[in-house]
Amino acid sequence: MAHPLGNPPTKIVAVHLNYPSRARERGRVPSQPSYFLKPPSSLAGTKEAIVRPAGCELLGFEGEIALVIGSRAQRVAPADGWAYVRWVTAANDAGVYDLRHADRGSNLRSKGADGFTPIGPRLLDARQVDPAGLRLRTWVNGELAQDDTTDTLLFPFRQLVADLSRLVTLEPGDVILTGTPAGASVVRPGDLVEVEVTAGELSTGRLRNPIAEGDPLAPYGAMPKADPAEREAAYGLSYETGPLLDQRLADGLRSVAVATLSAQMRSRGLPHMSIDGVRPLGPGGEAMVGVAHTLRYLPLREDLFKRYGTGMNAQKRAIEELRPGHVLVMDARRDPTAGTLGDILALRAQRRGAAGVVTDGAVRDSSALADLGLRVYAAGAHPSVLGRRHVPWDTGVPVACGGALVQPGDLIVGDADGVVVVPPDLAEELIADCREQERQERFITEQVAAGENVDGLYPLGPTWRNTYENWCKGETQ
């Protein structure tokens, strides 16, 4: 079946990042939109196969909303941008990551192959829809993989039209692919990808494209090549490889007790930094230190659970967004009557390199979690799935966990006593002051063990100061 545009456009312009959920996956939020071009020959319609060249393993799907320009746009003001859009439809911005190395930056061969831009099946009249009220969904083999709306886009559609038209004349029939949300990943021959755009009761219908295996590429050009960074990018993960937390800082936080950190933060006017009500699963071990990545659950609403709780929901996205050194912090509203994590997702978090998981709800499969080796702190164990109480809602946002406010990027430290949140800008001075406090406490412990009265000694008072300083000299020798 041919694509619904009839005549081919003069150009197809694709936006790199536009959905906040995708930006969180990639680990960066652009200040302005950026673009690449796809050739008109890449257009296809519904039911046409997307062919993965033999030798490629990383064929990615990206469900997108396509805008079709209706009138010539040149130096359009942002307020007028939407008036130049005539149609809205569904699209799949397919590409093989194995060939990104061949045209780094342009995506010509990785994204521009014949059939790599299926659109349709129906066009929605742009004048009848609210550009901020569209919903985009993608299914792979019937399983919901992407589900997002256009009310929180980084760059509204009208801005894209205006921005492009500053330098590039948009002609009638030109197509703008407006970015993909979280959940885009890899498909294989035999899979079926479906994309649908809805605006209230209006629908494009499902754009259905099976994945097929193609012939090998002729050897007189760049050949497929996949490395770990490309695999991470293809599967929808962050491909920034730098450490989340400086090793020296991590070692410093690990060297002091959570109780000492809590006391030092309290002395600075921060008495509410502990995540209350959570206990470690399994035997003790090295302290948990990492950078917060957050997941928020909201109370169960049956009419919304199918939309937000199934498929590649926020819980699964949060797991797949983890980078080595992350601690996944879950806000479950202190409700321990349903599971928020089980053994399979905990294993995936461990494989992603997570430093730990903290939830103020319950966990399932607690025995298996305890044996896994991943540091997990929870409010309890419960046999039920999260759908009994929770809807996984969003990731990468400030959350309340165990009564503490946790922002993405906060430092999380846990030991046998519990878990505290450490503001990153205070970490260096806290480590120094904690070490001094713990040294004083070692001195005090020696004196109490020798029979001394705690009056004036604990906390350390002026009458013991000289004795303590002399003791410190001996400890450092």
Q: Is the same domain home to 111 and 72?
A: yes
Residue type, 192: L
Q: Which residues are annotated as a binding site for Mg(2+)?
A: 365
Give 354-382 pLDDT, tens digit per residue: 999 999 999 999 999 999 989 999 999 99
Quote the tokens at residue 197.
């755009």
Percent of the chain residues past pLDDT 90, beyond the cut: 73
pLDDT of residue 240: 45
Q: Are 117 and 41 in contact (CB under 8 A)?
A: no
Where is pLDDT greater, at 105 or 366? 366
321 CA to centre of own chain: 4
**Nearest residue to 410 (alpha-carbon basis) of 253, 276, 268:** 253
Please report whether residue 270 resides in a domain: yes
The 10s digit of each residue's pLDDT in 217-257 is 998 898 988 776 677 777 765 444 456 788 899 999 999 99
What pLDDT was estimated at residue 233?
76
Looking at the fold, whether 460 and 390 belong to one and the same domain comes out as no
CA distance 441 to 436: 9
- Say how many residues make up the chain: 477
Torsion of CA 40, 42, 43, 46, to 10 degrees: 180
Residues 194 and 315 in one domain: no
> Which domain CATH number covers 298?
3.50.30.40
| CA atoms of 241 and 26, how far apart (whole Å) | 11
DSSP 3-state assignment of 439?
A: helix
Q: Two tokens at 331?
A: 């806000």
pLDDT in tens, 12-61: 999 999 999 888 777 678 889 999 999 999 999 999 999 999 989 899 99
Helix, strand, coil percentages (3-state) for the chain, rounded to 5, are 30, 30, 40
If you average pLDDT over every residue of the chain, what do you get?
91
- Contact by Cβ (8 Å): 113, 97: no
Looking at the structure, do residues 418 and 433 belong to the same domain, yes or no? Answer: no
Strand partners, 213: 52
- Give yes or no: residues 361 and 446 share one domain: no
Binding-site residues from annotation for substrate: 342-345, 364
* Position 77 in a domain: yes
Distance, in Å, from the CA atom of 454 to the CA atom of 449, rounded to the nearest integer, reads 11
Looking at the fold, whether 262 and 401 belong to one and the same domain comes out as: yes
What are the tens digits of pLDDT across the range 86-104? 999 999 999 999 998 888 7
- Do both 412 and 446 map to the same domain? no
Q: Give the structural domain span for 410.
A: 247-422
| Per-residue pLDDT tens over the stretch 454-469 | 999 988 899 999 999 8
Domain check: are 204 and 337 in the same one?
Answer: no
Whether 2 is in a domain gets the answer no
Q: How far apart are CA 366 and CA 187, in angstroms?
A: 33
What pLDDT shows up at residue 239?
41
Tokens 């406490």 belong to: 441
Taking CA atoms, 146 is separated from 110, 309, 317, 321, 343, in Å, by: 22, 12, 10, 14, 24
The mean per-residue pLDDT over the stretch 260-289 comes to 93
> Residues 390, 447: one domain?
no
Burial class for 144, CB neighbours closer than 10 Å (0-12, 13-18, 19+): middle
pLDDT of residue 228: 63
- List CB contacts of 294: < 8 A, sequence separation 6 or more: 318, 328, 329, 330, 331, 395, 396, 397, 398, 399, 406, 407, 408
| Tokens 């004036």, residue located | 456
Give CB contacts under 8 A, 24+ apart, made by 371-376: 371/282, 372/282, 372/343, 372/346, 372/347, 374/346, 374/347, 374/349, 374/350, 375/280, 375/285, 375/288, 375/414, 376/280, 376/281, 376/282, 376/341, 376/346
Q: Which of 179, 213, 234 is the last residue of a domain?
A: 234
Query: Mean pLDDT over residues 326-343, rounded?
Result: 96
For 147, the 3-state DSSP assignment is strand
Q: Are residues 301 and 330 in the same domain?
A: yes
**DSSP code, position 170:** B
- Does 213 lie in the same domain as 308? no
Annotated binding site: 342-345, 364-365
Last residue of a domain, one of 422, 438, 459: 422
What are 370's two structure tokens? 């305890």
Task: Look at the chain and report how many structural domains it folds into.
Answer: 3
**Mean pLDDT, residues 416-431:** 94
